[in-house]
Amino acid sequence: MKWNNNIINSQSWGKSIARMEEKENVAQRIAAMVEDGQVLGAGSGSTSYLALLAIAERMKREKLRIKAIPTSLEITMACTRMGIPVTNLDEHRPDWTFDGADEIDPQRSLIKGRGGAMFREKLLINASPRTCIMADSSKMVSRLGMNFPVPVEVFPQALTYVGQALKELSPKRVNLRMAEGKDGPVITENGNLIVDVWFDAVLSETEQALKAITGVIESGLFIGYDVEIVNA
Ligand code: 5RP
């Protein structure tokens, strides 16, 4: 039996997408890599959304049987709208994962998490034998932290403790991420808070130093991961 309402199908990405042409090019390149029968880790953000659209088109045109493991609620909803069956890490290991990034340095280290999905994104990237990071020209930086802070997901009751512990890493600024569609802070899909941490310099040990703080669930730093960069 079908539901008689349109609440998910009436949504779209909902915001204007910067560098649309570049993102559509790289989305097409990702869609061209998909093979029949694969399970894909589906990252979050507008580039991942465009990649899903391109994959859904190929699925319809070529009758491909693909499953996705989404990294966020918006990508889960997008899969529902596009008719892409979703699964999870307990049922399947992804054949490969595609995702976007906020910053990519010359060593292919990343800052991710503008969309607040870095915990599930890191989980999928670690669980996948292969990860492709989609990059438009705005994402390439000479050093991490030039344009974006490092997002850190924090268990709510640990906020003040974590704020204190972060001082040991000498950040330039630490901001609690505030919501736009609700009063108060952003609450992640895991029920946690996000603090955005600006550093003068992100060091090779910064990811581990953040992870070592009790109360930090995960950060958006990906230092030295084995990822392929797919440019527009
Ligand atoms: C979300 C992310 C995104 O992949 C990152 O913010 C890039 O987004 P976009 O493709 O919209 O530029 O990490 O948590």
24 is catalytic: no
Which residue among the candidates 24, 74, 121, 218 is catalytic per the annotation?
121
Tens of pLDDT along 64-94? 999 999 999 999 999 999 999 999 999 999 9
Residues with CB under 6 A from ligand 1: 43-48, 99-102, 112-118, 121
Distance 1 CA to ligand 1 centre (A): 36
Tens of pLDDT along 145-190? 999 999 999 999 999 999 999 999 999 999 999 999 999 999 999 9
- Helix axis angle for 73-82 and 46-62, nearest 10°, is 20
Go through the domains of the chain in sequence order and give each one's CATH number. 7-141+226-231 (3.40.50.1360), 150-219 (3.30.70.260)
**Burial (0-12, 13-18, 19+ Cβ within 10 Å), 151:** buried
Distance 99 CA to ligand 1 centre (A): 8
Say how far apart CA 112 and CA 38 lie, in whole Å. 25
Which ligand 1 atom minimizes the distance to the CA of 19? 12
